[in-house]
A and B are shown apart, each in its own frame.
Chain A
Amino acid sequence: MFVSKKMTWWAWVALALALFFAVFPIFWIVSTAFKPSTEWVAIPPVWISGQPTLDNFSAVFISQAGAAETAATAVSETGWRAIFGSIIISICATALSISVGLAASLAISRYRFGGNSTPLMILSGRMFPPIAIAIPFLVMFNSIGLIDTYLGLILCYAAFTLPFSVWMIKSFIDDLPQEIEEAAMLDGLSRVQAHIRFTIPLIRGGLISTSLFIFILNWSEFLFGLVLTAKDVVTIPVQLSKYFAATAGQLYGVQAALAVVAVLPLVVIGYFIQTHLVRGLTFGAVKR
């Protein structure tokens, strides 16, 4: 494609606007995380704090019981439990979603299971507003004792991200010529062996990018985490909403600090697997 080296002024304006919308909230969160409580909602706004502090982070990581009473120390609980909960739930739910999604996509793509209607049926759960699904989940989970358990959230998250795994993985499998598996079968492998030796390794890039996508969905999910938990289990997004003190209102600085901590693993993973990500997302993993 021919791209002009010279950008016109309106292209610059459009790009600057888009960048502003994308980057400013991130900047604001990072900036707030280092602000003392007096600057959180100061008017006029403080863009970058003159007296940067790590108080917000220590409120997230270190118990503040007995510390001098400030807005930041008003938090009742550190973020550790939420971080642990998010890690366990996101990893397990992603693994479950991808495993089931892979099996389902193979069934749909290679064995034409259920004809053309199955993929759409799988997607139908996503057509409702999440809150409409959350209520029946709550009722069901309540009756089988899954409320406020890790298992409950793992199952719920896996079920809720499954449509994405199925549709994404299915598109990668569809792109892979079926003849590769047939050739392997002619060489003496069984159907399942052919999938394990060829189908799965050949869509590896796609599986990795799908996993990351699903992981991000799970990591940042809020509604189900809020509705289906009580006091034992908490995830980062839910914990963020809990950083609220009767004396100080919303603890924006502490929330920002936990948010910064929460985004780090995604940035790191994203950086290391970006080659896979690009290959996976361009759907060019297989040469025909």
Chain B
Amino acid sequence: MTKLQIKDLRKTYGAFTAVEGLDLSIEQGETVALLGPSGCGKSTTLNMIVGLTDPSSGDIRIDGRSMLGVPPGKRGIGLVFQDYAVFGNMTVRENLSFGLKVRRMTKRDIAKEVEKTADLMGLSNSLDSPTSVMGGSQLQRVALGRTLVTNPSILLLDEPLSNLEAAMRNEMRQELRRIQKQTGQTVIYVTHDQIEALSLAHRIAVMDRGRLVHYGDTHEVYHFPKETFVGGFLGDPPMNFLPGTVQASQTGHRVDIGCATIDVEATPLGLSLQSGSKVTLGVRPESIDLLDVGATDLGAEILLIEQLGADTIVTLLLGTHELKLRSTQNVSHHIGDRCSLCFHPGMVSLFDAETGVKLMASPVSKEIAA
């Protein structure tokens, strides 16, 4: 069932367009991450969903009902703020019960709901503590609890972990996943942190300069980005990009990247590529194999080897282009060695060199295979 439907949503401030023609639909019980760099319009989108900002045009529907003109408190949406926005002049219990009091619930019901939520959030022991003395992760729990206690139909989280230390962040991330599972909440998670997005969300919506660039499940968004921006934004190290020229061949197409040509016939072409058209070839660091010299036509030189515990990142020079490769195996090569590369078949994406938009990529083949 579609929980939230956003249609052609637009927000402009004078000549500046913050959000441009956004279409997004979110299913009941789904966690969707709104991901993008600062200033990409994700917070504006969030504020429009919540009702703190009025859209310039477009529609927002929750359970099929248009939310335009509905005040924030009446939308059934809960929002957890980046800075928590816990009511500093109140205790934990007062914070948790405030929303219910405003909704005119009876004292008994309020007490019951507050206890239940405090239990879920691990706040039972500190219900009567003033929030003014609490630290980051505790405040985070209060903020989340205060929102959950009102039983919102959609829960929005605005960079909820960005103010926590790394260790706390991991813990809260697991906590959020547990709570989402336990409550079956529909969650929209706004973040600029790809790890959070990839680990928490079912689907990711990547935004850039006010546009929704790619909306899909985490696997698709990561491995088969619709634009070079998505490939470059997601992943650490990000996707490798190689400029090249299409050469038609009998079996399919090849891309000439200057020092070598790469077969892309493994990915059937949805579009017919003009021979000679300029493209950008994208390949993830983990979709490249490092082989001994002469094993393939793709000869490269090793510039740097970084051991990162389980993984090894190898920086290579392929012709004039630098590439990064991630290997989970032990790398027996040394810096300065020559080697050969092999791109995993079906894991190479082609983008228009000018616009950066995907020309064709493996989901096509995946669908055909399926």
Binding site for B on A (CB under 8 A): 177, 179-180, 182-190, 198, 201-202, 286-288
A-B contact pairs, 12 of them (CB 8 A): A177-B81, A179-B82, A180-B85, A182-B52, A183-B81, A183-B87, A185-B72, A186-B77, A186-B79, A187-B103, A188-B102, A202-B89
**B78 on interface, CB distance cutoff 8 Å:** yes
* Complexed CA–CA distance, A288 and B134 (Å): 11
Q: Say yes or no: A179 contacts B81, CB within 8 Å.
A: yes
* Residues of B in contact, count (CB < 8 Å): 25
Contacts of A177 in B (CB 8 A): 81, 83, 85
Contacts of A183 in B (CB 8 A): 79, 81, 85, 87, 146
Looking at the assembled complex, report how far the CB atom of B122 sits from the nearest CB atom of chain A, in whole angstroms.
21
**B38 on interface, CB distance cutoff 8 Å:** no
Q: Say yes or no: A186 contacts B89, CB within 8 Å.
A: no
For the complex of A and B, list the 3 residue pairs with the smallest distance between their C-beta atoms, beginning with the closest. A188-B73, A179-B85, A187-B99
Binding site for A on B (CB under 8 A): 50, 52, 71-74, 77-79, 81-85, 87-89, 98-99, 102-103, 132, 146-147, 150
Contacts of B98 in A (CB 8 A): 184, 187
Is chain A's interface secondary structure helix, strand, loop, or mixed overall? Answer: helix
Q: Say yes or no: B89 contacts A201, CB within 8 Å.
A: yes
Looking at the assembled complex, report how far the CB atom of B106 sits from the nearest CB atom of chain A, in whole angstroms.
16
* Complexed CA–CA distance, A286 and B90 (Å): 12
Q: Say yes or no: B87 contacts A198, CB within 8 Å.
A: yes
Choose among A179, A180, A185, A198 the residue that contacts B71 (Cβ–Cβ < 8 A).
A185
Choose among A182, A185, A186, A201 the residue that contacts B78 (Cβ–Cβ < 8 A).
A186
Choose among A179, A185, A198 the residue that contacts B83 (Cβ–Cβ < 8 A).
A179
Closest to B139 in A: A287
* A185-B52 contact in complex given A177-B83, A179-B81, A190-B71, C-beta closer than 8 Å: yes
Closest to B163 in A: A288
Contacts of A179 in B (CB 8 A): 81-85
Q: Say yes or no: B99 contacts A188, CB within 8 Å.
A: yes
Closest to B102 in A: A188
* Complexed CA–CA distance, A257 and B52 (Å): 58
* Complexed CA–CA distance, A219 and B78 (Å): 49
Q: Say yes or no: A186 contacts B83, CB within 8 Å.
A: no
Closest to B47 in A: A182
Contacts of B83 in A (CB 8 A): 177, 179, 288
Please name 17 further chain A to chain B contacts, defined as beta carbons within 8 Å, in addition to the given A186-B73, A187-B99, sorted by A numbering. A179-B83, A179-B85, A182-B50, A182-B72, A182-B81, A182-B85, A183-B85, A183-B87, A184-B98, A185-B72, A185-B73, A186-B147, A187-B98, A198-B89, A201-B89, A286-B88, A288-B83
